[in-house]
A = this chain, B = another copy of it.
Amino acid sequence: MVIGLEARRLLVMVVSCTVEYSGRTGSHLGEGERLVIVKGDGCILVHRGRDYQPVNWQPSGCIIQAQASNGTLVLKAVRPSPLESLTLVVKDVQFLGTFLLQDDAEFILHASEEEMQRAIILQPDVIEPGFKILDFEKKVPPGFVDVYGVDSEGNTVVIEIKKDPAGFPVIKQLLEYLKYLQAPPGKKLRPMIVAPSIAKGAQSALAKSGIEFKQLTLQKAVEILQKYARSDQQALKSWL
């Protein structure tokens, strides 16, 4: 008897089983009770009683077959490339249910770096009075300059934004960008890192690099966004 793994349906079961994995490497898990989830897109998760991550799994896009014989159910999930297979031998089913999840909502992730950028664009003087934006996501060969503008005296300001404490990598990255940028005649090129703080060991390297640092916390950025955007505050006002 073969269980029809209903297309588009979510299969949830609590079972006693063993799990074998073979592929990029291999694993073995003896008998025990686990929560098994099979999703409609052909991925499978085997969860134990603790830990965020499943003890065994197979990502979406693999072929799942199930067959029962002699009172045991064997679930097999094979991923074509890279070739790897997950095999569950189910001895005992404590719970089994299938669900059709009605879920059309859009998932919105607020990338804080993007919000910091938006805050600077909306209110450039958060950097310093008189700062004007010329461009953002400006293309240079190694990547994109987050914000590009001029200060009150006409000097070019090149801003790299970091949501985390600014460390060596961002210093290196910004120095790389500078190779492809230059200030107008008689003006200076002011490289600047905008971040909530400076990483522990990076203070002296930052000083030596000639890069300026301007503190901007996510909280401050959010305040600015709130001030300018009356709509879309729902996600923000539920802080606690």
Asked whether A234 lies within 8 Å of B43 as measured between CB atoms, the reply is: no
Question: Does A35 count as interface, using CB distance less than 8 angstroms?
Answer: yes
Q: Which of A37-89 contact B (CB under 8 A)?
A: 37, 39-41, 43, 45, 47-52, 55, 57-60, 78, 85, 87
- Give Cα A60 to B53, complex, Å: 10
Contacts of A151 in B (CB 8 A): none
Give the residue name and chain of the B residue nearest to A234 (CB). Answer: B28
**Alpha-carbon separation in the docked complex, A108 to B45 (Å):** 17
Q: Is the CB of A34 within 8 A of B109?
A: no
Asked if A110 is at the interface (CB within 8 A of a chain B CB), the reply is yes
Q: A110-B25, A110-B27 are in contact. Are A12 and B10 (CB under 8 A)?
A: no
- Residues from 133 to 168 in A contacting B, C-beta threshold 8 Å: 163
Q: Would you call A240 an interface residue if the criterion is a C-beta within 8 Å of the partner chain's C-beta atoms?
A: yes
Inter-chain contact B103/A27, CB cutoff 8 Å = no
Q: How many of chain A's residues touch chain B, expressed as a range?
A: 35 or more
Is the Cβ of A60 less than 8 Å from the Cβ of B55? no
Distance of A45 from chain B, by nearest CB (Å): 7
With the chains together, A112 CA to B23 CA distance in Å?
10
A55 to B103, CA, bound (A): 12
Interface residues of A (CB under 8 A from B): 8, 10, 12, 14, 16, 18, 20, 22, 24-35, 37, 39-41, 43, 45, 47-52, 55, 57-60, 78, 85, 87, 94-95, 97, 99, 101-112, 163, 218, 234-236, 238-240
11 A-B Cβ contacts within 8 A?
Answer: A8-B49, A24-B112, A25-B109, A25-B163, A26-B109, A28-B108, A29-B108, A31-B105, A32-B102, A87-B238, A95-B99
